[in-house]
Amino acid sequence: MPHPYVLLSAAVSLDGCLDDTGPERLLLSGPADFDRVDEVRASVDAILVGAGTIRADNPRLLVNSPERRAARVAGGGPEYPLKVTVSGSGDLDPAARFWHTGGEKLLYTTDKGAERARAHGLAADVVALGSELDWRRLLEHLYAVRGVRRLMVEGGGRIHTQLLTQGLADELQLVLAPLFVGDPDAPRLFGPGAYQAGRLRLLETRPIGDVVLMRYEPTAPGTGPLPAAADHHWLALACDLAERCPPSGTAFSVGAVVVAADGTELARGHSREGADPVVHAEEAALAKIDPTDSRLATATVYSSLEPCARRASRPAPCARLILDAGVRRVVTAWREPDTFVAGADGSGVLAEGGATVVVLPEHEDRAKAPNGHLIGR
Ligand SMILES: NC(=O)c1ccc[n+]([C@@H]2O[C@H](COP(=O)([O-])OP(=O)(O)OC[C@H]3O[C@@H](n4cnc5c(N)ncnc54)[C@H](OP(=O)(O)O)[C@@H]3O)[C@@H](O)[C@H]2O)c1
């Protein structure tokens, strides 16, 4: 089930705090950055904060610029993004500003929390997600039922920590403010947790007055059948690589990337790469990796098209090459059609060999784009 694009947004002090412990919200950013945040809010379908942030800050979470609100309406959307909060207890103040400003409001909670929230008479849709709150179910619900495609998450720390450790954050927009909090009890941006090993990808740095915006993208593949946000990023890259293939009327254009469990790219390739007119994308990528590289056993292969099960040009199909390399996880956008091989089932070959195959159909159109002439598009 698809999820919205999830953008985490936060401002932190130099010692990593989101706030101090005083009664007033600590202002970490300046006017220019607050205006940037307003612009980001205006660009999303929904804004989410945790119940802790509503209790501590009593925020409104509005799009303040009338021009930006008018542009949203002119584009056919609501004036304000949907406001979403998350609470296990359902114990929220019905007088909080969150419920009485801006557009529609939505509370995700547990079955027990829903009883309490309803008893409080909160001015919001209340959605109970069972005995525990499951972030994947929440994101699926936002996408499928509320039509949310871009979600901005504005904290606090417990929410950011869960979304990042569960591989559900597509992007982190972090503003570093030149001040210290120094209080051991102040809330931190990220708590302890099973974060991805390895490094995130830096997308951008931008000075804004005396603060600096840093944008990062997680890089670690998911594990097993559960897709992580980074799986989408890597598969999108594989689809980009497919566009680079020399054209052919007799073979698909495919891109592939091999990524280690810690998010390190091991190799990439595309069909008919270099001087080899018949090489396949996965084959080209795997050929660049030392076969004794121990990272292959926990790596993921991203391929815009399902790895082939049979081929005329060479004895070993790509599904076999992947298994022989020791890789046990493959993410693809598109199952192979019958164009050249009837009943090709690379996923079946991979599954029989003990690999997990994850198909992300959200990328199918991009994977098909350079192959339109072969599939009658
Ligand atoms: N600098 C910034 O950019 C920024 C932005 C936002 C917030 N903040 C600061 O962050 C602080 C608040 O952060 P926080 O970590 O204390 O709170 P939080 O992350 O905003 O909210 C935590 C609450 O959300 C609910 N929740 C979270 N995960 C849940 C789950 N898996 N299942 C059920 N309920 C769940 C729980 O509500 P219940 O307790 O109701 O069960 C939990 O107490 C404040 O001091 C605020 O000023 C700073």
pLDDT tens per residue across span 150-198: 999 999 999 999 999 999 999 999 999 999 999 999 999 999 999 999 9
Residue-wise pLDDT for 193-216, tens only, equals 999 999 999 999 999 999 999 999
**Mean pLDDT (whole number) for 95-123:** 96
Reported CATH class of domain 229-374: alpha beta
DSSP 1-42: ----EEEEEEEE-TTSBS--SSSSPP--S-HHHHHHHHHHHH
Confidence of residue 42 (pLDDT cuts 50, 70, 90): very high
CA of 249 relative to ligand 1 center, distance in Å:
55
> Residue 202's CB: how many other CB atoms inside 10 A?
10
159 C-alpha vs ligand 1 centroid, how far in Å?
6
pLDDT band at 341 (very low <50, low <70, confident <90, very high): confident
Q: For residue range 51-63, what is the model confidence (pLDDT) as tens digits?
A: 999 999 999 999 9
Q: State which ligand 1 atom lies nearest to the alpha carbon of 57.
A: 47
Q: Quote the tokens at residue 55.
A: 């209790």
Mean pLDDT of 107-122: 96
User: What are the residue ranges spanned by the domains of the chain?
Assistant: 5-217, 229-374
- In angstroms, what is the span from residue 368 Cα to ligand 1's centroid? 42
Q: How far is the CA of 369 from the centre of ligand 1 (A)?
A: 42
Looking at residue 352, its pLDDT comes to 97
Cα of 205 vs centre of ligand 1, distance in Å, is 26
Question: Whose C-alpha lies nearest to ligand 1, atom 46?
Answer: 53
265-317 pLDDT, tens digit per residue, is 999 999 999 989 999 999 999 999 999 999 999 999 999 999 999 988 899 99
User: b/e per residue, 136-154, with b = 16+ CB within 10 A?
Assistant: eebbebbbeebebeebbbb
Q: Convert the pLDDT of each residue in 213-267 to its tens digit.
A: 999 999 999 999 999 999 999 999 999 999 999 999 999 999 999 999 999 999 9
Do 284 and 270 touch, CB atoms closer than 8 A?
Answer: yes
pLDDT band at 132 (very low <50, low <70, confident <90, very high): very high
Atom of ligand 1 nearest to the CA of 10: 3
Residue 377 has pLDDT above 80, yes or no: no
Query: What average pLDDT does range 10-20 have in this prediction?
Result: 97
Q: What is the pLDDT of residue 342?
A: 87
- Ligand 1: distance of its center to the CA of 85 in Å? 9
The residue-averaged pLDDT of 28-41 equals 97
Strand partners, 256: 269, 303
Burial of 132 (0-12, 13-18, 19+ CB in 10 A): exposed
- State the distance from the centre of ligand 1 to the C-alpha of 91, rounded, in angstroms: 13
The closest-lying atom of ligand 1 relative to the alpha carbon of residue 89 is 41
Which atom of ligand 1 is least distant from the CA of 157? Answer: 15
- What pTM did the predictor assign? 0.95
For ligand 1, mutation pick of 7, 13, 17, 19 (most atoms within 8 Å of CB): 19
The atom of ligand 1 lying closest to the CA of 91 is 40
pLDDT interval class at 133 (50, 70, 90): very high
145 band by pLDDT with thresholds 50, 70 and 90: very high
**Tokens 């570093």 appear where?**
176
In percent, how much of the chain has pLDDT > 90? 94
Q: Whose CA is nearest to atom 28 of ligand 1?
A: 159
Residue 86 scores a pLDDT above 90:
yes
Considering only the top CATH level, what class is 5-217? Answer: alpha beta
φ and ψ of 70, to 5 deg:
-65, -40
CA distance 158 to 188: 9
Q: pLDDT value at position 27?
A: 94
Span from the CA of 187 to the centroid of ligand 1 (angstroms): 9
Confidence of residue 376 (pLDDT cuts 50, 70, 90): confident
> In angstroms, rounded to a whole number, what is the distance separating the alpha carbons of residues 39 and 33?
10
Query: What ligand 1 atom has the least distance to the C-alpha of 90?
Result: 40
Mean pLDDT, residues 107-127 taken together: 95
Evaluate whether 263 touches 196 at the Cβ level (below 8 Å). Answer: yes
- Percent of the chain at pLDDT > 70 equals 100
User: 54 CA distance to ligand 1 centroid (A)?
Assistant: 8
Residue nearest to atom 22 of ligand 1 (CA): 52
| Ligand 1 residue neighbourhood (C-beta within 6 Å) | 10-11, 18-19, 25, 28, 49-53, 56-57, 86-89, 91, 133, 154-159, 162, 187
The DSSP call for residue 200 is P
Please tell me the predicted confidence (pLDDT) of residue 231: 98
Indicate which atom in ligand 1 lies nearest the CA of residue 133: 32
pLDDT tens across 320-333, in order?
999 999 999 999 99
- The 3-class secondary structure across 214-257, one letter per residue, is EEEECCCCCCCCCCCHHHHHHHHHHHHHHCCCCCCCCCCCCEEE
